[in-house]
Amino acid sequence: MVPETTVSYAFQDSGQTLILEVRDGVNADDFIEVLNAAKRDAQYRSDTTIIVDASQATESAIDGDAVRRLARFSRADDTRLGQRVGLVPRPVPASYGLSRMYQMLSDSQRQIEIFETLDEALEWARSPSSLEALPSPGELRA
């Protein structure tokens, strides 16, 4: 069982949005374990928007190697993870850079956006304009 102190999850909007709250000391194993638990939850659907909120964390064990591992996990589980992912990194340049790295390495048909605040990410998740169809496999995004 993952300690409650590193990652937790909650559903909002009748299961349309899954928020993963990341706290101090999280590592890739903790994150993957909690994400897998959320995917087994009865509220989870394959079209659930996932928001990862690390904005309140003051430290992280996530580094470049962990980001590559998370991106591999994301690619391997492409059909079961939400088609839209919002990232709210810690408010430091290195965390933003690691979020961009994940965004690029995920290399999937999933829409991945980065936000400064949880409120911005939630607004995006709930807005009709963010529900645009994703490109079909092999189609380039503009």
Domain parsing of the chain, residue ranges: 7-112
Q: Which residues pair with 10 in a beta bridge?
A: 19
Determine the pLDDT at residue 68: 85
The pLDDT score that the predictor gives to residue 121 is: 94
Contact 82, 71 (CB under 8 A): no
Distance separating alpha carbons of residues 108 and 136, to the nearest angstrom: 11
pLDDT at residue 65 is higher than 80: yes
The whole-angstrom separation of Cα 32 and Cα 3 is 13
pTM of full prediction above 0.85: no
CATH number corresponding to 7-112: 3.30.750
In this structure, the number of other CB atoms found within 10 A of the CB of residue 4 comes to: 9
- Per the prediction, the chain carries an average pLDDT of 79
> If pLDDT is split at 50, 70 and 90, which confidence band does 108 have?
low
Do residues 71 and 37 make contact, with C-beta atoms less than 8 angstroms apart? no
Element (H, E) at 122: helix 118-126
Residues 84 and 49 sit within 8 Å (Cβ to Cβ): yes
